[in-house]
Amino acid sequence: MTKEFFMQKGVAYTEKSVATDQIAAQEMIDKSGQMGVPVTIISDEGKEEIVVGFDEERLTSILGLA
């Protein structure tokens, strides 16, 4: 759902497969404390927001989308 949301809103993103990329999996766990997916990390000017699961309202707010 997160990928579809980003595509609908025209948001560029980088997808990492934590199932096959151990470094990405460890980064996700280190940053979010979670092992479940999706975990979305939004970076802006050195600040990171972590969204665990699909939370359309929070993603919309963080990204300043209408």
Q: What is the largest CA-CA distance in the chain?
A: 35
Q: Which structure tokens are listed for 33?
A: 């404390």
Contact 15, 26 (CB under 8 A): no
Q: What pLDDT is recorded for position 66?
A: 74
Q: What pLDDT is recorded for position 30?
A: 94
Q: What pLDDT is recorded for position 46?
A: 85
Specify the DSSP class assigned to residue 10: T
Q: What pLDDT is recorded for position 24?
A: 94
Q: What pLDDT is recorded for position 62?
A: 94
Q: What is the pLDDT along the chain (66 residues), one digit of tens a residue?
A: 999 999 999 999 999 999 999 999 999 999 999 888 999 999 988 899 999 999 999 999 999 997
